[in-house]
Amino acid sequence: MKRFTLSAAIVLAAALTGAAAGTPAVLRADKPGAEVSPTMYGIFFEDINFGADGGLYAEMVKNRSFEFPNSLQGWKTAGKVEVRDQDGPFDRNPHYVRLSSSGHREKSTALENEGFFGVSVKADSLYRFSAYMRAPEGAGKIRVELSDPASMDETQALASQTIEVSSRDWQKYTVELRPSRTVSKGVLRIFLVHPDNHFIDVEHVSLFPADTWKGREGGLRRDLAQALYDLNPGVFRFPGGCIVEGTELPDRYQWKNTVGPVENRPINLNRWQSTFLSRFYPDYFQSGGLGFYEYFQLAEDIGAAPLPVLNVGLVCQFQNHDADAHVPVDSLQQYIDDALDLIEFANGGTDTEWGALRASMGHPEPFGLKYLAVGNEQWGPEYVERLAPFVEVLRKQHPEIKIIGTSGPDSEGDKFEYLWPEMRRLKVDLVDEHFYRPESWFLSQGTRYDKYPRKGTKVFAGEYACHGKGKKYNHFYPALLEAAFMTGLERNADVVEMATYAPLFAHVEGWQWRPDMIWFDNLRSMKTSSYYVQQLYGLNAGERVLPLTLDGRPIAGLEGQNGLFASAVSEGQDIIVKVANTSETAQPFSLDIKGLKKKSPLTRLSVTRLTAPGDDAENTLDNPGLIAPVTTTEAVDITGEWSAELPARSFTVYRFSR
């Protein structure tokens, strides 16, 4: 009896597999459907996991303005170092330090900065040190050193320079340093040179690699920005995430504090400092050095539509349960003004207040802002009643801007069910859905958007990731399920206008949340399987959806489809078919391509495939190339049917050209 049951099961499984394998899927090349929005596949950026300070923003000095609540956090001192807050050069960052002679030749006065998880330098690369200094009593001297405290050499210094401080008034001094060795746990030291002066005042101490993204002084880490560019993203959402909200109103992200000269941008608490006490970073603050100007500039650099998210007058509803912590509904004017002024900052003429500031920062042309999200992951009537006045004012004053509301933190359930109809009632253009969900959820959601109304408010899948078992760096199987799920986004491009995986970056020594798309330490970075999935979509986004069905149904991991998920788009003359085989078996995949003209067959096929040595395989900083897409091309002559073999657990992008 037992034996009979087992063989019956095998026969049934084979029959089901056969249903997927035997019948060709029908692809209607002659029936292009919805347009795929150019914003369809994008990126979400938040300063979480030391993604900005200590990450993309290439500043190497932590607490450079001595403005952390503990003014000398990140610094060690020797001799006479005094923190002062009167008559500094920057009104919003009043603190600076006074280095005074100890009065004794054998006693040094010095400062040492620990950087973000170390001051990490590469041999023979150039680094720019700068500081605002003055010598109130006349000339003085400091020595700047990049040092390796663990060195067994006679000297710990890897590079050093002396600066003559000749000005009685505040002035910016800059020197270049070229370290002799690569060191990951180095420090930056500043010595008062004895006995030339009595004291020197020092403020805004900064160290950047000269080799930044686009060579910009005070710019972004080249490898990390390049990785973003290489995704070919259509949209760039910033600056979060929960940091938009803050735990209390003063901690919320205020974009106006992040524009203008970096030296005068006030710091802000980073709420990820203590969100999880199991991953506690008491030194996590936002310098604002990567601010709204830089975000817009980066969006432009990488060819993505900028999508800022603004506070709606609510603090984080997860973290703060005090109803009075939010802004009263009748006191939202400042928040609404922030939205209006932001539009002016991005798009306004140089004769406007905020447009003039943009121009003074180096970008007289508008940034072409088209999208604005109001509120991050909010819920309940408290959100709806605050969003409503924003919508009213923005519609009147800026009908050209698409407004994005939210469906809350959950992919379904009460909050979600309440908010969607409310968002439709308010007629927002898009609703931001978030889903950090397990493997089973992703496998079951292939047709999620097939069921959505086709008209009105569209979907922005603004934060999502498959949280696979173990939550490693980003192992392969969850990434494969993300690829599978995304075929459903693509098939429903008439409903889904944009989608952004989250979070984007994580420092291996400073993360609070995983999985993440790109991991890095101070000297290296690594692209995960999820990165490559996003990249394959970004590079093969297409322009129009092509109908693709199997036995009349979408290919969405449905019963009898043996774990297959597939979608198709056209791009110019090309046809792009994406197929995820989530099953543990290889299987044939055939297409009956309708509507091809005999005279104009498909003649070239490029096959790009992502597979891995196992479900748990993952790239690491030490082995970053274990998993990466591989492309082959071949000549073909296709006017109708075509078939191929799909490896088990694979994601394949077929691009057919004429």
Tokens linked to 195: 């006995």
Encoded amino acid at 413, one letter: G
Q: How far apart are alpha carbons 62 and 68 in whole angstroms? A: 9
- DSSP 8-state code for residue 572: T
Neighbours of 365 (CB within 10 A): 10
In 10-156 the beta strands, taken as DSSP E runs, fall at: 25-28, 41-44, 75-78, 80-84, 96-100, 110-113, 119-121, 127-134, 140-147
Least distance (Å) between residue 271 CB and ligand AHR: 9
Least separation, in Å, of the C-beta of 609 and ligand AHR? 29
DSSP character at residue 349 = -
- Residue 43 or 357: the one with the smaller Cβ distance to ligand AHR is 43
Backbone phi, then psi, for 119, in 5-degree steps? -95, 105
* Listed residue (257, 280, 232) closest to 91, CA to CA: 257
* Angle of the 292-302 helix axis to the 333-347 helix axis, nearest 10: 40
326 vs 434 by CB, closer to ligand AHR: 434
In the complex, the residues that contact ligand AHR under the rule CB under 6 A are 46, 48, 240-242, 376-377, 409, 463, 502-503, 513
Write down the least CB distance from residue 280 to ligand AHR, Å: 17
Q: Of 46, 114, 344, 377, which residue is the catalytic one?
A: 377
In angstroms, give the least distance from the CB of 469 to ligand AHR.
19
Report helix, strand or coil for 166. Answer: coil
Task: Classify residue 411 by its DSSP letter.
Answer: S
Beta bridge partners of 253: none
Count Cβ atoms within 10 A of the Cβ of residue 289 and give its class: 0-12 exposed, 13-18 middle, 19 or more buried: buried
Least Å distance, CB 502 to ligand AHR, is 4
Which is closer to ligand AHR, CB of 60 or CB of 309? 309
Rounded to whole angstroms, what are the CA distances from 336 to 97, 310, 341, 355? 38, 9, 9, 18
Our CB check for ligand AHR shows the closer of 376 and 457 to be 376
- Closer residue to ligand AHR, CB minimum distance, 285 or 651: 285
443: left (phi over 0), alpha (psi -120 to 50) or beta: alpha
Nearer to ligand AHR, 189 or 252 (CB): 252
CB nearer to ligand AHR: pick between 75 and 511: 511
Whether 417 sits among the annotated catalytic residues: the reply is: no
Integer-rounded Cα Rg, in Å, for the chain is: 28
Q: How far is the CB of 467 from ligand AHR (least distance, A)?
A: 11
49 and 37 Cβ atoms separated by less than 8 Å: no
Lookup: tokens for 614: 């196992």
Between residues 160 and 411, which has the closer beta carbon with respect to ligand AHR?
411
Residues 6+ apart with CB under 8 A from 405: 373, 374, 375, 387, 419, 423, 426, 428, 430, 431, 432
| Residue whose CB is less far from ligand AHR, 186 or 462 | 462
DSSP at 118: B
User: Would you say 117 and 100 are in contact if contact means Cβ atoms under 8 Å apart?
Assistant: no
Q: Nearest approach, Cβ of 315 to ligand AHR (angstroms)? A: 13
Which of residues 289 and 503 has its CB atom nearest to ligand AHR in the complex?
Answer: 503
Return the number of the residue (197 or 500) whose C-beta is nearest ligand AHR. 500
Taken in order 274, 279, 280, 286, is the CA torsion positive or negative? negative
Q: 423: part of which helix (H) or strand (E)?
A: helix 414-426
Minimum Å gap between C-beta 377 and ligand AHR is 4
Under 8 Å between Cβ of 43 and 308: no
3 state SS of 655: strand
Q: Least distance to ligand AHR from the beta carbon of 225, Å?
A: 20
Taking the complex as a whole, how short is the minimal distance between the CB of residue 335 and ligand AHR, in angstroms?
Answer: 18
- Mark residue 215 as left, alpha or beta (left: phi above 0; alpha: psi -120 to 50; beta: remaining): left
CA dihedral 479, 480, 485, 488 (to 10 degrees): 130
CA 95, 315, 290, 158 torsion: positive or negative?
Answer: positive
Count CA atoms within 13 Å of residue 445 on its CB side.
Answer: 23
Contact 168, 134 (CB under 8 A): yes
To ligand AHR, the closest distance from the beta carbon of 259 in angstroms equals: 22
Residue 116 Cα to chain centre, angstroms: 19
CB atoms within 10 A of CB 250: 10
Q: For 328-380, where are the alpha helices, taking DSSP H only? A: 333-347, 353-360
Nearer to ligand AHR (CB atom), residue 48 or residue 580: 48
- Least distance from C-beta 213 to ligand AHR, angstroms? 23
Residue nearest to ligand AHR (CB): 241
Q: Which of 40, 93, 175 is nearest to 459 (CA)?
A: 40
For 636, the token pair is: 């073909």
Nearest by Cα to 116 from 196, 244, 208, 193: 208
Enzyme catalytic residues: 377
